[in-house]
Amino acid sequence: MDLGLSGKVFMVGGASRGLGYAIAQHLFEEGACVSISSSSEENSRAAAARIDPTGERAFGMRCDVSKRSDIDDWTAASVERFGGLDGVLVNGAGPRPGQFDDFDDDDWQQAFELILMSAVRLCRSTLPHLEKRGSGSIVMLTSSSVREPMEVLLLSNVMRSGVTSLAKSLATPYASKKIRINTVVPGRIDTERMKNLDALVAANTNTPEDKIREAGERAIPSGRYGTPDEFARAAVFLLSPAASYITGSTLIVDGGSMKSI
């Protein structure tokens, strides 16, 4: 299938590693230009160089997504570099894990800025450029916790649920402008963050990490953790013109593990 991405321009957040990096790489392989960001200038530039050693269709820069000025600078640099914008992957580092009694007001405020307000500000910054194109796509990477809250991920449960509501709220008014807005939900994908979460559960329950992994895999009908490439292919489809009649939706990539309807 031709996804129709050749020559398109995408901004991909949190893309120096993990799921963001895999998505940026697949966009590039489909012929798109990619502007990637992370909280580290060095890591962003290195990731862009791995994706495109020539530097012609990929570049990276630092962006602290909790700061409006950084987001606006990233948007401006992307548009200046590639002459426009066709799509955005909203993604960033997750808030620290923990339960209700672990967090004070500052923790809640930081999670609010990092997760929810970063999505609000990135949409505010990029939507005018998508409108100039006359079409476009925004995909927000959330979490399975928006459907089935996880005990050790309270901040993520709450803030990413807000991101899901934001996407759904924006999808209707922007559909008439041919701009699609969706969310994509990873289940247990084999990334460093997943390894760290398994290690946290292992420590909290005094259980060997390999046993936690085995239990996690048994709970997945597909019998294994997903790969970043598998997740990226789903997200890239949702970003692409091939998904032209999909908006206001949530795509779940979890090997069948979620129990909710």
Directed axis angle between helix 192-205 and helix 209-218, to 10°?
A: 110
| The predicted structure's pLDDT at residue 38 | 94
Pairwise CA distance, residues 220 & 229, whole Å: 18
d(C-alpha 93, C-alpha 81), whole Å: 25
CATH of range 9-187+226-250; options 3.10.110.10, 3.40.50.300, 3.40.50.720, 3.10.310.40: 3.40.50.720
**With 90 as the cut, is the pLDDT of residue 197 above it?**
no
CB atoms within 10 A of CB 138: 27
Give the pLDDT band of residue 196 (cuts 50, 70, 90): confident
The string of pLDDT tens digits covering residues 233-246 is 999 999 999 999 99
Residue 193 · residue 150 · CB < 8 Å: no
Model confidence at 153, pLDDT cuts 50, 70, 90, reads confident
Would you state the structure tokens that stand for residue 261, as one six-digit string? Answer: 């309807």
Residue 1: the pLDDT is: 80
Q: What is the pLDDT of residues 39-91, one digit of tens each?
A: 999 999 999 999 999 999 999 999 999 999 999 999 999 999 999 999 999 99
pLDDT at site 57: 98
* Average pLDDT of span 135-146: 94
Q: Are the C-beta atoms of residues 23 and 15 closer than 8 Å to each other?
A: yes
E strand or H helix at 139: strand 136-141
Over residues 90-127, the pLDDT tens digits come to 998 778 888 899 999 999 999 999 999 999 999 999 99
pLDDT (mean) for 26-37: 98
Judged against a pLDDT cut of 90, whether residue 145 lies above it is answered with no
* pTM of this structure: 0.94
Residue 96's pLDDT is: 83
Q: Report the mean per-residue pLDDT for the chain.
A: 94
Nearest one of 194, 156, 138 to 19, comparing CA atoms: 194
